[in-house]
Structure 1
């Protein structure tokens, strides 16, 4: 009995081999049956070959495009290796199902994994017609082959999955048998239609319907379905965007085959044959990647942050692949209304041909949500274009790494002084020039000095309070104040508020001129730091990705809103009071004030005018704007540099960068409630009745 069972098993294997050999002969256009492939092998060897083939088939998860959305749900970008949107079979029009079955496997619902009768008929028809008109493999076998190609990771694996050999056809058949035993015919057809390549970068019938006809798979008409069904055999050769005539000829073959099988009537066939193939004007491109996004620099930054998330893969390469194949739905922080306001400011105050660059970032206090990110140079490789994002640190793809930030650093000196108990009315005699060559400054590791340091003011000096010195941006006051607080205290405050060197990623240098600007900082970094003051000392890590869901709708873990109290509320309130004076009449930012909102801000101009800043905020929003030379070596903005098509004759924080900040914030705040700063404690204010010095003369109060 055992011998009989063994004999029957061998017999079945031989029968399967013969069937597959015939099928192999039907490859492409009906090649000769490759019995020669087994020449020299006995029946025992053939049986062993067949029996050694795999019996189970594991398909690769479909590569599905991912989408990046703005905060309002509008589409920012699509990322994909294959443009695919899977749908259920019930969401595919019946005529599409009939068309693909008619041309590829008309007896699909009648046979098993192998349709020997259909294969032989296809051989005869294709050889008689002189070209491939009908498929030689069943839909199940085609699905298996496409899946094997999909699973291939290397060129060698792809070549193995597509080679013309009896071994491959035997493996395909064994897999097809496994698939037919595990899945229903409808399930196989659904997977096939979602997996197939339909040309011009589209995969799956839904993406193809959207691309060629701007419709959905459930609404496909007969001529549309026939065109798509014909594409599967040769997605490039029959692509209507490549060759309309050839595409029509192939479509008509499908229509005539459907008529021959009685799937459609003569009247339906005639109407379909006369229908246009496609309307080229309606072909809908599906842009891929951030370069095609409406906010390309922001999109690149989003992708960079996603590539840091280990939940998307063990390596950066794995995460990148998952981003482009995982069907992720990525929601971001960007607010199109605020982004439009910031872009309107760039459009108003800059021109494409400017030699100087401008950039603005807007952040929401208390959440860290990045609401806008714009710059004057467009995305690209052409003239007056760039791939650098001037708003972010160098550690991110395309990040420029920032510019020296000038007197915007004085805000951190104010915070350090208030935290040490120095009140706002603290006076320091601040002459136009001061000799600090012998002055030692305390650092976190000791002391430092500069034997030749004799700084000057570019604005008002005198016996000033902290509020007055901030209003006029008096350098000699803040240098002396920073000597009293110590550089370590300033460095610690700045670090708590997310400030570091945007080029190197290292802490800011503790040099004696630290309060006048140090290192390289970015608009994102500075706006978020100032947002901490607006949020009463609550620092939030900048956030651009608010949620990620996989193709099943399940949330993918990742960084969310991350805030912590890094300054006391009273210290932050005090900083807000001091910097609010900057935007009052007579202050360096006084001309930038608009409406009746509470506002605070600070100008910044670095040595030799290589960059100028304005950073400011309300309780609702914080923004930083910079105008700079972005070409190495950096040069003075007032020499041979233009902004808005005009020479920059007198670059200042308020006069050059300030208008960019003002226009952006005015538009961004439109419609938002006018929230108020909280008053600091009286002990921090000091003597509110102290008589302020006389207001500066117009010529002396040149805004910086």
Structure 2
């Protein structure tokens, strides 16, 4: 107890001496003295009591260190910081720098304790004799304490207390300085100080300062460079050479002369250093800060939005934002620079900044969800006159800067195909698909009931019509086929499957709407969501959440928790294989995507055009990479792309998924996959191709009621087409069914009765398709086929027609 009391009394004596020196000065000595007013009644005992109330240990906040975001190969994407700082050990700082800072700030640093009374008095006298402040009175330890308290301040009030010119603050700082001297060695204090100090122009710590002003490191600083930096800490802004080179030189030279006075350097060394230019402007390094300064600003901002969602980085978004910019973490991403360059090249080749339409493309790796690239036609910025934007057209609106997608059009048909195959519908499934049809009589099942639209009369956007198979309808993107298919499959099945593949409304995150036109793609979906969903088909039904942050490591190299690859088997492989077969044929003649085929790998894809041509899409994939490209009007009110809009500097005369968005997709994919071995899709099983079908009763020539009863007894649902067809069957009887009796149908599926109006015409024959084979004679009526060619029970009846 007596030893502690003696130590405390020694501290008190130091304080009293300090106060006395301050009082004698009649002013503030080098910013460190305490106002004399109010000290008359402040006795040694009161000082002692005040010291007893102070904490015995200085609790410092971790130094703010810049964090970085890097690509998959480690290439820097962006720096994120509140203070540009790189921590270094004392042995990584040139001894001349250590000597320079001690010479000008506290030349007896290694000789005194927390406070240097002799140095303070000497500085005061010199400053008074010179008529200006030439030397500081605070020890380096005291300066470290003050800087630490300022760094720890989180509010304006805390900052005010940390910088107030009051004797209470000075006493507190001195008490903390005593504690610091007890806790750390002189070398440790000097190291902490040199890493903490502000060296001006946004550089914090000696390492960042060396890089910023001289393009070197703290270990390689020369004498004049070290002297300049040592002079900066007193007034970082006033002595900043980039603001006032002459004033900075005067301060540097003062440091050099002080080093000469202390015999640290010779007169010749000082004179030689004084003759050197204060700095070379060409060597000044500006450290870019934030995503706006990144080469990949939109990708970077999406990464940051994911970091802000990570609870491991803080209790709330505000805490996470601060941590990200101060903790010195390294965030590794999935960005593939080869793929990114490919995506940017595609945008550059097919668009111009002056375009009124916008274009975007996202690329995802199947089987991992790794987001390999994002690019868009409008550059990052706030100047609308230069067509700059802060919107990221590739991601959902639920993320900062996300635009919220566009209506996806017929790319949605891929999910109807998947739902149909999942229900056992064969790839050759035929539906009579006229150029336009009334669907007001049809009820569509949803997850909560049924829906209908009495006034819905859709039409096809292509010339294909007739009795088409699923593959033929996909090749031509026949609307009336897929609307009827979605009615038979059920909207709930399509919605459920799409949700499993990550699709939702990109504006609000809600499930896709279960409306009659769902298969035509009325909801807004982002390129990221669509490319990732299509990647599920490429990965044979393995869905993975989109992933941009692959790892986070602390300043010390320890891993920080972050979501990794997260996948599940959303579709049976056989279902995905069937989708791949159908969409592969889209890129074969006469498919709408045939012009986009390249290389030797199997490719699959689908076009998409929304109503009034406000957006056009192409989404496609190989087994190695998936991408979705969109061209759209992104300025309210949305208008037809073919009415006054430009792309690549020219008027858009014929907006289409294959001709407008497709080339962007092709260039990006082709360049990204260049040099990689070719890949193949797994062949669909015979059951997938032929479907899980059941024999259909033969009802041609029956009246509607008898045909309905017979089909329902066999386990099928029945609907009647409102339009009669020419047929050899008697008027008013069943001319044929859809699907055809020879094809069979999945159990419980919908069968449409087409009613004859006579006139002796045969049922329509599918285009480019041979007539069905004559049935064998077995005593049954010759009009009843005895060998359904698509049923797995009849393997000798042939394969699917395309």
- The offset of 1:632, in angstroms, is 1.2
- The offset of 1:22, in angstroms, is 4.0
Residue 694 of structure 1: aligned partner: 768
- The offset of 1:510, in angstroms, is 0.3
**Higher RCO (CA-CA < 8 Å; seq separation 6+):** 1
User: Kindly tell me: are residues 206 and 692 of structure 1, through their superposed partners in 2, closer, same or farther at Cα, counting changes over 3 Å?
Assistant: farther
1:168 counterpart = 2:173: no
SS at match of 2:50: helix
User: Kindly tell me: are residues 236 and 7 of structure 1, through their superposed partners in 2, closer, same or farther at Cα, counting changes over 3 Å?
Assistant: closer
- Higher mean C-alpha deviation, range 323-332 or range 115-124: 115-124
Inter-partner Cα distance in structure 1 for 2:100 and 2:681:
68
Residue 113 of structure 1: aligned partner: 114
Inter-partner Cα distance in structure 1 for 2:8 and 2:140:
27
Inter-partner Cα distance in structure 1 for 2:163 and 2:70:
38
Inter-partner Cα distance in structure 1 for 2:5 and 2:563:
63
1:490 counterpart = 2:490: no
Inter-partner Cα distance in structure 1 for 2:346 and 2:630:
12
Residue 507 of structure 2: aligned partner: 503
Residue 626 of structure 1: aligned partner: 630
Match of 1:579 among 571, 580, 583: 583
- The offset of 1:122, in angstroms, is 0.9
Residue 80 of structure 2: aligned partner: 79
Residue 548 of structure 1: aligned partner: 552
The 8 Å contact of residues 30 and 127 in structure 1, kept in 2 or not, is answered as no
User: Kindly tell me: are residues 54 and 233 of structure 1, through their superposed partners in 2, closer, same or farther at Cα, counting changes over 3 Å?
Assistant: same
Give the 5 Å matches for 1:581-596: 581-596=585-600
Residue 513 of structure 1: aligned partner: 517
The 8 Å contact of residues 415 and 571 in structure 1, kept in 2 or not, is answered as yes
The 8 Å contact of residues 30 and 123 in structure 1, kept in 2 or not, is answered as no
Flag structure 1 segments of 5+ consecutive residues without an equivalent: 696-704
Residue 412 of structure 1: aligned partner: 415
SS at match of 1:331: strand
Inter-partner Cα distance in structure 2 for 1:287 and 1:596:
42
| TM-score, scaled to structure 1 | 0.96
- The offset of 1:52, in angstroms, is 2.3
The 8 Å contact of residues 54 and 172 in structure 2, kept in 1 or not, is answered as yes
Inter-partner Cα distance in structure 2 for 1:377 and 1:228:
42
Inter-partner Cα distance in structure 2 for 1:441 and 1:662:
36
- The offset of 1:683, in angstroms, is 2.0
1:37 counterpart = 2:34: no
Inter-partner Cα distance in structure 2 for 1:516 and 1:10:
82
The 8 Å contact of residues 32 and 138 in structure 2, kept in 1 or not, is answered as no
1:600 counterpart = 2:604: yes
SS at match of 1:37: coil
Give the 5 Å matches for 1:360-375: 360-375=361-376
Residue 195 of structure 1: aligned partner: 196
The 8 Å contact of residues 34 and 165 in structure 2, kept in 1 or not, is answered as no
Inter-partner Cα distance in structure 2 for 1:673 and 1:551:
39
Residue 530 of structure 2: aligned partner: 526
Inter-partner Cα distance in structure 2 for 1:515 and 1:19:
86
The 8 Å contact of residues 23 and 137 in structure 1, kept in 2 or not, is answered as no
Residue 210 of structure 1: aligned partner: 211
User: Kindly tell me: are residues 323 and 10 of structure 1, through their superposed partners in 2, closer, same or farther at Cα, counting changes over 3 Å?
Assistant: closer
- The offset of 1:165, in angstroms, is 1.4
- The offset of 1:116, in angstroms, is 0.8
Inter-partner Cα distance in structure 1 for 2:7 and 2:248:
47
SS at match of 1:380: coil
Inter-partner Cα distance in structure 1 for 2:410 and 2:22:
77
Count residues in correspondence: 692
Match of 1:20 among 18, 21, 31: 18
The 8 Å contact of residues 23 and 136 in structure 1, kept in 2 or not, is answered as no
Residue 392 of structure 2: aligned partner: 389
Residue 471 of structure 1: aligned partner: 475
Larger Rg: 2
1:234 counterpart = 2:235: yes
Inter-partner Cα distance in structure 2 for 1:31 and 1:463:
93
Match of 1:538 among 538, 542, 547: 542
- The offset of 1:693, in angstroms, is 2.5
Match of 2:404 among 397, 401, 413: 401
- The offset of 1:340, in angstroms, is 0.5
Inter-partner Cα distance in structure 2 for 1:33 and 1:317:
37
Q: Deviations over 1:507-560 (max 9, x none)?
A: 000001111112100000000000000000000000000000011111000110
Give the 5 Å matches for 1:133-148: 133-148=134-149
Match of 2:648 among 644, 662, 675: 644
User: Kindly tell me: are residues 101 and 562 of structure 1, through their superposed partners in 2, closer, same or farther at Cα, counting changes over 3 Å?
Assistant: same
Inter-partner Cα distance in structure 2 for 1:5 and 1:70:
58
Residue 160 of structure 2: aligned partner: 159
Residue 436 of structure 2: aligned partner: 433
Inter-partner Cα distance in structure 1 for 2:285 and 2:127:
34
SS at match of 2:618: strand
Inter-partner Cα distance in structure 2 for 1:42 and 1:28:
22
| TM-score, scaled to structure 2 | 0.84
User: Kindly tell me: are residues 478 and 118 of structure 1, through their superposed partners in 2, closer, same or farther at Cα, counting changes over 3 Å?
Assistant: same
> What is the root-mean-square deviation of aligned Cα atoms in Å?
1.8
SS at match of 1:615: strand
Inter-partner Cα distance in structure 1 for 2:305 and 2:31:
50
Match of 1:663 among 664, 667, 677: 667
